[in-house]
Structure 1
Amino acid sequence: MHGFCMLNCFLSRPDEVTFTAQFDRPGNIGRVHIGKAEIEGYKSKVGSVITSRDFITNSKGGPTWRLKFEICTFPLKGKVRFAFSDSTADARDFDDAIITQQETVRATPEGHENMPENLNNLAIVLLQRFKRTGNLSDIDAAISAFKQAIHLTDEDGLFMPLYLNNLGNAFLARYDRTGDTNDIMASISAYRESKCFDHTSNPFYIQTAIFCYSRPATDYDGYPDDRLVAAQYWVGLSQQHDPSQVLAAYSTAISLVSQVASLSQTIQARYRSLLKVSRLSTSAATVALGLERIDLALEWLERGRGLVWNQLNDLRTPIQVMKPSGADYPPANITEELERVSKALDRAGASRELWLAPSAGTSFTDVRALPGFEGFLKPLIHADMIDHLPASGHVVIINVHEDRCDALALRRGVHELCRISLPDFSYTKAEGLRESLKLYLHASGARTRGDWNATRGMRREGGSGGVVKNILRDLWILVVKPILNPGLCGESKSLTLPEFAISSYIPTFQTLVDRVKKPRKVEPENAGIFMISQPGTPNQSPIPKPERNAAATVNRVINIMENYTCVHFACHANQNTSDALKSGFALYDGQLDLSSIIQKQLVGAELAFLSACQTSTGDESLAEEAVHLAAGMLAAGYRSVVATMWSIQDQYGPKVAEGFYASLIDSESEGLNADGASRALHYAIQNLRKSLGDSESSLVSWVPYVHFGV
C-alpha cells in the first residue's frame, strides 16, 4: 500500500490493515496521518495521529520496534499538536506539545542521528510558548536546546544553518523581553555564522538546488502543501538563475493551488490555505506576459481566482451537464454517484462530509474516460475562453503586479489575444487609491447604512479635497483610456467610461463561460420578482419606505425564492470574509446565509438585486477570491446580480430600483429575466447622476452600484 491508498484504508478500516515486513518503518503511519491533517486542515484528525501511536505500539510488539516508533512518531505527534495550537492559541496544546517533545528527547538514544532534530523541535515549541506567555524559563530552555542541537551537528551538516538561525531568533526574542545587550550580540553572532552557509557562486550547487526543488514539486505522490512549497522555491531560483525553467515551475505551482485548497477541506481551511498563495497567479501571469505567453497568463489568472466559488459551481455542473444525455449514457451508476457526492459536498463543507472528496475525484476520472467527456470539469484553457465569449462587447482582464501592469482584451470572433500595457499604472498606485477611498468612505460614514444627510451629514467637498474625483480621474487616465480605442477618446480629459461602454463585472472567467454555454429560456409562468423588504430587523438601523411589511422570515423567504426568476433584497446584509458561505441577509428571525441559498439549487434563477450594504466588497487579503455576496449569488445560480461597493443612501436606493425595473420591463427580452440587466442599471444610474450632478457627495451616491454577470 502506498500514499493515500494506505491512508484511507487505515482511517476507514484500521482493524483490517495487516502490516508486513515492508511496513517496518514505524514513523510512516504517523506521517501519513500528519499529511492527512495538513492537507485537510481538519483538527479532529489530530487524534488519529496520537491514536495510531498507541494502536501500533500495542499491536506490533517488541521493545526495539516500540523504541523506533517512539523516536519516529513523537516528533510528529508534537508537530501536529503544535501546528493546531499555533492557530487556536490553546495553551494546553502548547503544554502537550512540549511534553511530547521532551519525551521524544528522552526516548532517543545517545548518539542517535535524530537527536539534533528532536532537540531543535523541542526548542521551537518552547520559543513559541515564550512568545505567548513571556515566561523566561521557556526561552532559557529553548536556547539551551538549540545549543545542544548545534553541538551535536557536524559543521558541514545539512541543518546547521537552520539551527544557527533558530538560535539567533531565540536570543533576539529574549533581548526583546529583557533588553540584555549580551543577547543581541549573541543573536548577531548566530545569524552571521548561519549566513556563511547561505551563498555560493558555484553554478553546480545552484543547478543542484533547482533540481532538488523541482523533483519534489513534480512528485505526484507527495503532499500538496510540501509540493507547493518546493514549487515556489523552484520558481524563485529559476527566475534568478535559470529562466528557461520558470514557466515549468510556475505551471507546477499553479496546478497545485486547487489541491492545497481542495474539496476535502472546510471552507475556512480553504481560505487559510489560499492566503499563502494569494499573489501566486498574478505573479505567474506577469512572468508569462513578459515572455509573450499571453495564453498562459490568461489561464493562470483564471486558475488562481475565485477558486472556492468555482469548486461550488463544479458540484452542480455534473448533474446539469449529464442529465440531458439520456438514461444509459453516461452510465447510471456514475451519474448517481456524482449526484450523491454533489449534494453532500454542496452542504457547504460540513465536517462529516469532508471524506467524500476522494469519491468525487474517482467519479470525475470515470466520466473523463468516456468519449466526449475528456475535459470534464478540468480547468479552462484559453481556447475554451475564446470560443465562449459574449456575442457583443469586449472582455477585459486587468493584471496589477509590482513588476508590471497589463490588460488583456478578448472579443468574440477574434482569436488573437490582445495585450495592452499600462506603463503609467502600478501596484503601489493601486494600493494608494484603495487606501484613499477607504479612508474617505470611513470619514464620510459610507461604511454604515442610513440616510447620511439626516444622521450625520455628508462631509463637504472642500473638507476632503475631492478624493473620489481624483481617484476616478486617475483610473480614467492611467487604466481606462489606454484600453479604449484612442480614436474614440480623443484628447478630452472630461470624458467618462459610461459614455463609451455599459460595464459588467465577473469574479471568474468560468462564470462567463457557463452563462454563454448554457443560455436559458425563461418560462412565462415562472417569470416574476420576489421582493424582500425587512425594515425592522432587530439590532439593525431601520430602512425607510418599505412597500410592504411582509413576514420576511428565513424559512418563508428561502422557500418562496425558488418560485421566482428574480429576487430583490432591501435589507441589511452581513459579509463573513473567513467563510463566505456564512455571509447572508438579515431577516426578521435570523440570517439567510449563502449556504442555504446554494443548497436550494435554484434552477430558474435569473436576477438578484442586492439593495443592501457593501454587497460587492471583498476581503483585502483574499482579493482574488471575490469573497462577497454578489459573487456568492452568482455561484448560487443567478445569472445577473446588482450590488454595491459600499453602503448606499436610503433616500436614493428606491430611485435606482425604480429606474432599473422600469428599464428592465421595457426591454425586448422575453419574460422577466437577466437579459438587459446591465443596460437597465446603466440607465438608472445615469438618470440619478443627472439629478445629483458630479459633486463629491453625489459621486459617493451613484458610483457604488455595480452589475455582475452577463
Structure 2
Amino acid sequence: MSIARWTAHLRSRIIAFQRGDHRGVVAERALVHARNLWDVASSDPGGVPLEIAKVIAWVHWCRYRALGTTEGDEDLQAAMSLVAAIVELERDVVPQELLDFFDEYDAATDPQAQAQAAIELLSGSNGDSSILPRAIRMLASAVGKLPEDDPNLPHYLSYLSDTRQKLFKRDNNRAELDRALANDRRAVELTPEGSTELSRYLILLSLTLQSLFEHGDSLSHLDEAVEIGRKAVAATPPDDPELTTYMSILGLALRSRIGVTGTDDDIDEAIALASLALRRTSPGDPDLGERWSVLARAAWEKAMRSGALEDVDATLVAARNAVAATTPDHRDVSGRLADLAEVLVERFLHLGQLTDLDEAVTTARAAVGTARVDDPALDKMLSILSSALWRRFGHSGSLTDLDDAVDVMRRAVGIVEGDGGWLSNLGAVLRLRYQRTGNVADLDEAVTAIRGALEAVPPTHQEHAAVLANLGGALRMRFDERGEPTDLNDAITACRGAVAATDPEDPSFPAMLTNLGSLLQTRFARLGALDDINEAIAMALQATDVMPETHPGLAGVFGNLAAALHLRHTTTGEARDLEHAVATWTRAATMTTAPTIARLKAARGRAEAIADAEGPASAVAAYADAVRLLPLLLWREVSRDDQQYPMETVAAAIARDAAACAIEAGDGALAVEMLEQGRGITWSHLLGTRTDLTMLRHAYPDVAADLAACRAVLDGVGNDDEESRLWAAQEFDVLAARVRGLPRTADLPDPARFLHPPRLEDLLPRKGNDRIVLLNVSSWRCDALVLSHDGVTVVPLPTLTVDTVRDAAGRYLGALQEFEGTHGSSADRLVLEHGISDVLEWLWDHVAEPVLSALGHTSTPTGNWPRLWWCPTGALTVLPLHAAGYHGTAGRSVLDRVVSSYATTARSLARPRTRPAATGMLVVALPETPGRRRLPGTEDEQHLLAELFEKPTVLADAGATREAVSAELVEHDWFHASCHGTQSLRNPLAGGLLPYDWETEGLVGIDVLTDHPGGEFAFLSACTTATTGIANLDEVVAIASAMHQSGWRHVVATLWTVWDDAALAVSRALYPLLVRHGYPDASGTARALHRVTRELRDRDPDRPSTWAPFVHAGA
C-alpha cells in the first residue's frame, strides 16, 4: 500500500473519532497502518514529513482519548514524543487541542526521569534502530527543560548527539549530524575547565567534526577536529586509561587532513601519537590491532610523501602487526588486510620482488573475501586487488591476471556508482588490456569510463589533473588506432587541462608537460602548424627547468625535447635546431643515472639524426654508443612481457642500422661485431646462455649480484631518490672496470671484453668450406655479411629494401593464413602453392642468388656440398631462405647449390657444445588431441621409431601430459614430437606443443623445451615450430631457435602448418640416414635433411608446401 493510501485510511479513522465513532482508532489495524506508514516514510532521505508525523501523532492522541489513562498510556507517550519533535521544527502545524495538552504534559514531565527513561530505552534496544526517533524526542525534551547549571546536562547532551549520529547512519539525513554537532558543542561549553569529563566531551566533539568532514568535505570541520582533539589529549591526565584512545582519535583526524592539505608536521605528529598510544597498549589488549592499524596508516602517509623504501618497510611492519593482532571475525579484519596488501604493492614498486606482489594479491583477495557486502570500504579493497593483479600481469604476462583486474575494477565501479577515482582506474586497466590484446572495445570503454570519472571529479579535487592526464592518454591511443583528428584534439585539450590543474611544485608536473608536448608534436607531424611544434618545445624546456639533474625522468624529457627540435628542423631547415637536438640527445644518452631505456631512445635518436643529416658513415660512433646500451636493457629480473617490450620497440633495428652504417664506412668487421652485440639479447637472458652477466654470475657471483643491484636502482620503477641513483651509476662503472681486471676463468674466459662487442675472430667458422651469412636489412642499406675462416666479406644487396622485404613477408604470411582460413579445396591449395612459389622466386632474385654467386656457388656441386648457415635479420627472419629459387629450372635454387641451416646469431654457433652421450629417444605421439583434428600419420611415425631405436620411451595419447613430457624430456637426448603445435606471430613466447591435457594444463612451451642441459637431436614434427614471431624480428623467437640456443645441437622443425603425410614422409626418409645398425648419429642431420628435401622437391616441385617447411637449426 502507498503512503497516500495509508495516510488516507488513518485520516478517515480520525474523522470518525471526531464524529463519535471510536471503533476505527482503537482497532489493531490502526496501529498497523501507523507503523507501516512510519517505516515507509522513514526511508525518505529528508526524514519523515511533518504532515505524516502529525497524522500519526493525532492517531495516538485519539486512541489515548478513547482508551483512557490506563490502557492508553503508551499511546499518550507516543503522541507526546511525536509532538515534541514536531514542535522543535514547526510549532504552528500542531492542532491547538493537542498543542495545549502537550504544553501542560511537557511542563509536568520530570526532565531527569525523561532523560533516564530515554537512556534505558537505548541500552535495552539491542541495536533496534526503530527506537532512535523516540529516544531523540525524549532526550531533546529533557535537555530543553533542564537548567544550564544542571551537572547532568552535558551528559544528556552527549547521549543525544550520539543517538542523532546513529539515526544519521540509518537514514542518511545530514540535518541530524548538524544537530549532533550543536549538542556536542553545548556539552563542551557547559563543562568547566578542570572537569574530569571535559576531555571526553572534547574528543566526542572531535569525532563529530570528523564525521561531518567525511560527509561534507568541509575542511574547516577537519581543522577544528584536529584542534579540538589536541585539546582533549592535553586535558587528559597521563594516567587516564582513556588517553590512549584519545591519541588514536586525534591521529585519525590528522591522517584525514594529511590526505587533503596536511603537512610533514601533521604526519610526524600522527606517527608520534600512534607510537605513544601503542606503547601504552598491553599485548593482550583487544584494541592492539587498532593501535597498530592507526600507526600503519600514519606511516603510510609518510612513505607516500617521502618515497623512501625505509618508510615503506616501517609501514609494512605496522600493517603486518595490525593483521596479526586482529582475529578473523573482527569487524575490521578486511580493512587491515587491504592496508597490508596496499603496502605490499608499494614495496614491489620499489624492489620489483614478485613475492611481494604474490602476497599482495593473496592478501587483497582475503580482504575482499572477508568484507561485508555493505562494507563502505569494499570498493577500495577491490581497487587494491585490481592494482595488484594488473601489476602482476606486467611482471608475469598472465592475461588471466589482467582479465581479473578488469573484472574486479568493474565491480568496484558498480558498488559506488559515479565514483571518479574508480572510473579512472577502470579506464587505466582497460587501456592496459587494449595494449596487450588490441581489442578496440576495451579502448572505447576506457575512454567512456574516464570521461565519466571527469564528470565526477570536480576541478577543485586533487585528482582532477590525474584524471585529465589519463583521459589524454586513452584518447592518444585511440587516435593512434583510428586516426580520428577529434581524438587527438580532445587528447590535447585534456592534457592542457592537466597541466593547468597541476601545481608546478608537484612531482607530476614535468610528466604533465611532457604528455602535452608529445601530443603537440604528433599534431604538428600531421598538420604542420608551427605553433604546435613551438609549444611542444616550450613544454619540454619548461619540464627540464623544473627537474633536478639526477631525476630518473630527465633523460626522457631531454629525449622528447630533442625529438621536437629535430622535427622542427626537418620542416624549417634551421641548422641550430639540429645542433641543439643532437646535443640534447647526447646529454640524455650519457646520463648514467637514467634508466637504460631512456638513454637508448636518446642514443638512437641522435644516431638517426646524424645519419640523416651527414650520411650513414658519419653515424658509426653514435650507433656504437646505442648498441653498447642494448645488453643493459635486460639486466633487471623482469617478466617476459617487460623483456619483450623494449626489444620490440626502442631496441628494434638499432643493431641492424648500426651495422649498415659501419658497412657504409667500409668496416665490415665492426658491422658484424655490432650486429652480434645487439641481437639475440632476449634469448640469452631468458635461457641463461653465455651473456656477460650470466658468465659473471657463474664465475664471480658476488660481483654479479652487486652489478645487478645497481641496475635495479637505475632501471627500477618507483625509485626517484637522487642520492641512491647517483651512487648506483658511479658504483656500476667502478664494478664494470673491476670485472675487466679480474683473472680469466672457464666461466669468464675474457673478462677484459666485459660489456664490449664480441670479437670478429671469435665468430668465424672453423672449417674452410663453411659460411655464415648475416643478412642485414636496414633502412640505410641492405647487405650480406659472409663469415668464413678467413674473415668477413660484404655482399651488397642493392635491390633489397626494408619495404620490399616487408612486402614479401606479408605476401608469404598472407598466403599461409588465407589458406588456413579455407576448406582446403584443390583451388585453395593451388593459390597457396603459387603464393609460396612467388616468394621463393623473389628471395632467389634479390637475396640468395647474389649471395651464392658472390661465394662462387653458381652450379650444383658434384662432390662435397658446401655448408651455409643463414642468419637473417628483420622481416627476412620469417621467410624460407633455404628453399629460395626457381624449382622448375634445374640448378636455380638454394637447394641445388648448398646445404642450409639456420642460426639466430653467429655467436650461437661459436659457443662450444659438448656432445652428450646418447641416452635414448623420447617419442611424444598424439594422433588424437582434444579439440584438434586427428593426425593419422602419428601412429606410423611411432612405429617407425620403435623399429629404429632400442626401447624408446613413448608418451602416447592420454599418457602424453604436460607433466609427463616435462619430466621425461630432461632424461633423454633424442626427442621426437609428433603432435599439434601452435605459434602466435605477435606473442611467440606463448607458442608450444600441445600435450593431451593442453586445455587444462597449458602448452609444452619454450620454458619446458629449453629446460635441458643440451640434447643431441630433436625433430618437432608439429606445425609452426620454426615460425618466428613478427613483433620482435631480430630476436628470432621460435621453438626451434629456443631449443638450439639452450643447447640442443640439432633441431628439425617446421615453418608452417604441415600436411600429415608430408611429416611422415620426411620422418621415413630422414631417420634411416641418422640411425645405422641401431646406433643414432645426428652429426649429419643438416646434410640428411637437405637430401630428403631435395628428393621430395624433385618429385613435386610445384607443391612447395609439402617440402619447403622443414628446416634445420644447429651445428
**Alignment TM-score, normalising by the size of structure 1:** 0.69
Could you tell me how far 1:9 is from its partner in structure 2?
5.5
Could you tell me how far 1:231 is from its partner in structure 2?
1.5
1:306 and 2:647 are equivalent in the alignment: no
Which of residues 1094, 1101, 1113 in structure 2 aligns to 1:694? 1101
Change (3 A) 1:380 1:573: farther
Could you tell me how far 1:295 is from its partner in structure 2?
2.2
Residue aligning to 1:501: 898
Asked if the contact 1:663/1:683 (under 8 Å) is kept, the reply is: no
Letter of the structure 2 residue corresponding to residue 269 of structure 1:
D
Instruction: Give a deviation string over 1:226-247, Cα, whole Å, max 9, x none.
Output: 2122212212332244568622
Residue aligning to 1:400: 777
Could you tell me how far 1:316 is from its partner in structure 2?
7.3
Which of residues 962, 974, 985 in structure 2 aligns to 1:554? 962
Residue aligning to 2:619: 246
Letter of the structure 1 residue corresponding to residue 472 of structure 2:
I
Residue aligning to 2:643: 270
Which of residues 848, 854, 858 in structure 2 aligns to 1:489? 858
Residue aligning to 2:392: none
Asked if the contact 1:405/1:426 (under 8 Å) is kept, the reply is: yes
Letter of the structure 1 residue corresponding to residue 1113 of structure 2:
F
Change (3 A) 1:369 1:581: farther
Change (3 A) 1:297 1:274: same
Q: How does 1:22-61 map to 2 (within 5 A)?
A: none
Change (3 A) 1:271 1:105: farther
Could you tell me how far 1:657 is from its partner in structure 2?
0.8
Instruction: Give a deviation string over 1:388-417, Cα, whole Å, max 9, x none.
Output: 6456411111112334221011112x03x1
Letter of the structure 2 residue corresponding to residue 597 of structure 1:
V
Change (3 A) 1:363 1:657: farther
1:661 and 2:1006 are equivalent in the alignment: no
Which of residues 528, 531, 547 in structure 1 aligns to 2:920? 528
Secondary structure of the structure 2 residue equivalent to 1:424: coil
Q: How does 1:61-210 map to 2 (within 5 A)?
A: 86-88=431-433, 95=450, 121=469, 124-125=472-473, 127=475, 143=493, 146=496, 166=519, 191=532, 198-199=568-569, 203-210=575-582
Secondary structure of the structure 2 residue equivalent to 1:537: coil
Which of residues 379, 382, 394 in structure 1 aligns to 2:759? 382
1:216 and 2:216 are equivalent in the alignment: no
Which of residues 616, 622, 633 in structure 2 aligns to 1:260? 633
Could you tell me how far 1:536 is from its partner in structure 2?
0.8
1:707 and 2:707 are equivalent in the alignment: no
Residue aligning to 1:236: 608
Secondary structure of the structure 2 residue equivalent to 1:430: helix
Residue aligning to 2:227: none
Asked if the contact 2:676/2:906 (under 8 Å) is kept, the reply is: yes
1:291 and 2:653 are equivalent in the alignment: no
Structure 2 distance, partners of 1:664, 1:211, is: 60
Asked if the contact 2:588/2:602 (under 8 Å) is kept, the reply is: yes
Secondary structure of the structure 2 residue equivalent to 1:206: helix
1:566 and 2:974 are equivalent in the alignment: yes
Which of residues 847, 865, 878 in structure 2 aligns to 1:479? 847
Structure 1 distance, partners of 2:487, 2:1100, is: 67
Unaligned runs of 5+ in 2: 1-305, 318-344, 362-382, 389-422, 435-441, 504-509, 539-567, 710-727, 861-885, 944-955
Instruction: Give a deviation string over 1:417-444, Cα, whole Å, max 9, x none.
Output: 1000112233333223222223333444
Asked if the contact 1:575/1:584 (under 8 Å) is kept, the reply is: yes
The percent identity for this pair of structures is 21
Secondary structure of the structure 2 residue equivalent to 1:402: coil
Asked if the contact 1:165/1:190 (under 8 Å) is kept, the reply is: no
The structure in which a higher percent of residues are helix is 2
Deviation larger for 375-384 or 314-323: 314-323
**Alignment TM-score, normalising by the size of structure 2:** 0.46
Which of residues 992, 997, 1007 in structure 2 aligns to 1:584? 992
Could you tell me how far 1:460 is from its partner in structure 2?
6.2
Residue aligning to 2:803: 428
Residue aligning to 1:518: 913
Letter of the structure 2 residue corresponding to residue 484 of structure 1:
L
1:630 and 2:978 are equivalent in the alignment: no
Letter of the structure 1 residue corresponding to residue 1104 of structure 2:
L
Secondary structure of the structure 1 residue equivalent to 2:1075: helix
Could you tell me how far 1:375 is from its partner in structure 2?
5.0
Could you tell me how far 1:610 is from its partner in structure 2?
0.6
Secondary structure of the structure 2 residue equivalent to 1:468: helix
Asked if the contact 2:815/2:835 (under 8 Å) is kept, the reply is: yes
Structure 2 distance, partners of 1:309, 1:139, is: 41
Letter of the structure 2 residue corresponding to residue 397 of structure 1:
L
Structure 2 distance, partners of 1:258, 1:79, is: 37
Could you tell me how far 1:82 is from its partner in structure 2?
8.3
Deviation larger for 649-658 or 95-104: 95-104
The size of the alignment, in residue pairs, is: 596
Residue aligning to 2:189: none
Instruction: Give a deviation string over 1:120-151, Cα, whole Å, max 9, x none.
Output: 847735855997999x9998796377379699
Asked if the contact 1:573/1:584 (under 8 Å) is kept, the reply is: yes
Change (3 A) 1:237 1:506: same
Structure 2 distance, partners of 1:432, 1:564, is: 42
Instruction: Give a deviation string over 1:278-299, Cα, whole Å, max 9, x none.
Output: 2222222222211112223212
Secondary structure of the structure 1 residue equivalent to 2:626: helix
Question: Is the radius of gyration larger for structure 1 or structure 2?
Answer: 2
Secondary structure of the structure 2 residue equivalent to 1:370: coil
Letter of the structure 2 residue corresponding to residue 702 of structure 1:
W
Change (3 A) 1:707 1:160: closer
Letter of the structure 1 residue corresponding to residue 586 of structure 2:
S
Change (3 A) 1:509 1:162: same
Asked if the contact 2:600/2:630 (under 8 Å) is kept, the reply is: yes
What RMSD over aligned residues (CA atoms) do the two structures have, in Å?
Answer: 5.4
Structure 2 distance, partners of 1:104, 1:501, is: 71
Deviation larger for 248-257 or 282-291: 248-257
Asked if the contact 1:574/1:585 (under 8 Å) is kept, the reply is: yes
Letter of the structure 2 residue corresponding to residue 224 of structure 1:
T
Letter of the structure 2 residue corresponding to residue 536 of structure 1:
E
Asked if the contact 1:507/1:631 (under 8 Å) is kept, the reply is: yes
1:409 and 2:781 are equivalent in the alignment: no
Asked if the contact 1:218/1:252 (under 8 Å) is kept, the reply is: no
1:614 and 2:1024 are equivalent in the alignment: yes
Structure 1 distance, partners of 2:578, 2:346, is: 30
Higher relative contact order (CA 8 A, sep 6+): 1
Secondary structure of the structure 2 residue equivalent to 1:587: coil
Could you tell me how far 1:103 is from its partner in structure 2?
8.9
Letter of the structure 2 residue corresponding to residue 605 of structure 1:
G
